[in-house]
Chain A
């Protein structure tokens, strides 16, 4: 062993920036393999060419990326608020559990992407249809996880609450809802990625802007590099959204089991 420190340091850098390290590593392998095997650029452009394309036309990617992001965030926010509301209604109503929840679970097994053209018929060719599709795809994850979280309260905790004679609203606000938050966040992490998928699908069906539009138009003129440019931006957006929610979760739920070890090791 030359030094115990160097591997330790490497490991620490790796852990702190795990995502960045993995992605950069992937791009390096791609670049090297693409160069060695001389992949034709119209099939698989090199990462360096894609990054050059992004640098050459930053405005196009920024504007279209912002448009896609904007619709994604609206759909995500709507699915979170309405999804949690529906979950609360389902947990408190036997009737809604038997009807609405059963229907949602059945509907969830339909490939929802197939409904995208119908949303265009219903909501038109503008933003509304993209938001509608994304909302529709994302809300299931929220409802299912929120119902699970709201239900999985310790029965003895509920007994205790009943002997305190505080009423159902207090049980919801002080016990059920906080107890469900880790589960709701798990649903949100899935939902935010699904919302992005939904918006892109909507843009594939019909659009005048957005990253899905850039991909379609570039495909029409065999500009594979531009297609990958849009995909790079999409991957970046998806990753940032996911980790943004994870960061929010760490801030709001420091008490949750999955975050305790880190806190303990940083000392309190």
Chain B
């Protein structure tokens, strides 16, 4: 890992393979993956559709089991979802029949906690994420950006030490996406949770991350891990700077070399 400072490991993955058995030959989703996520680190997985980044997330979340190799979260191998994990998906998957406040409190009910102990925290989170006054509304009465903010509040209600975000802003318009990127950076800087973030967007990955893990397809694998050495907090204007551009260009170049991206007009 070169000169990267070694922090206690949140996730340690070595020689991981994931094969999905199929009738017409097994499908190799991930091959020889090594990945390290330090405690409090923000790492993005960046790659095209089908590169296995979602599969990798599902393995780390304990939703699937690995075929071979090793995967440890907090120093333990998994036999199910680990404790202290918050998840955010591309779609907010809020429950239509619950108010926004009750949606945010859902993890409390699943964890067997007392709802009353968390109502204040839930309301505070909703205020922080610009949803004050929407506590008693239902999901369908909110815009896509507001719904995704509510989903983030839900992921945070039990104060997890570890966040997994699977293309959380992929379905949002560009302006809302920028706004939520800023909010996520602020959340990360104030709480220092470990974050594993999946995205299609080079700019989003470089903007948010300590390190960007670039993946390619067939089989799904990691081609390079790039440390993003840009000062924090970063504002949106950093995307127009030369150093930001160098990181983006380098990643785009990687994609072209691995046949992921064809930029030459034909």
Q: What residues make up the interface of A, taking CB atoms closer than 8 Å to B?
A: 154, 156-157, 159-166, 170, 174-175, 178-179, 181, 253, 255-257, 260
Contacts and interface: CB of A to CB of B under 8 A. Distances in A.
B63 A159 contact: yes
Q: Across the A-B interface, give the 8 residue pairs with the lowest CB-CB distance, nearest first.
A: A166-B110, A164-B110, A163-B81, A157-B93, A255-B97, A156-B89, A156-B93, A255-B96
Interface in B56-90: 58, 61-63, 80-81, 83, 85, 87, 89
Contacts of B106: 164, 174
B61 A163 contact: yes
B91 interface: yes
A268 to B, nearest CB: 8
A166 B110 CA distance: 4
Nearest to B138: A255
A165 B80 contact: yes
B107 interface: yes
15 contacts: A156-B91, A156-B93, A160-B89, A160-B93, A163-B61, A164-B106, A164-B107, A165-B80, A165-B83, A174-B106, A178-B97, A179-B95, A181-B97, A255-B97, A256-B96
A162 B96 CA distance: 19
Given A174-B109, A174-B110, A163 B95 contact: no
A174 B115 CA distance: 14
A255 to B, nearest CB: 5
Nearest to A159: B63
Contacts of A175: 95
B81 A162 contact: yes
A163 B96 contact: no
B4 interface: no
| Best-surrounded residue of A164, A170, A178 (most CB of chain B within 10 A) | A164
Contacts of A156: 89, 91, 93
Contacts of B242: none
B27 interface: no
A181 B97 CA distance: 10
A253 B97 CA distance: 7
Contact of A166 (B62, B93, B109, B140): B109
A170 B96 contact: no
A160 B138 contact: no
B174 interface: no
Contact of B111 (A165, A178, A253): A165
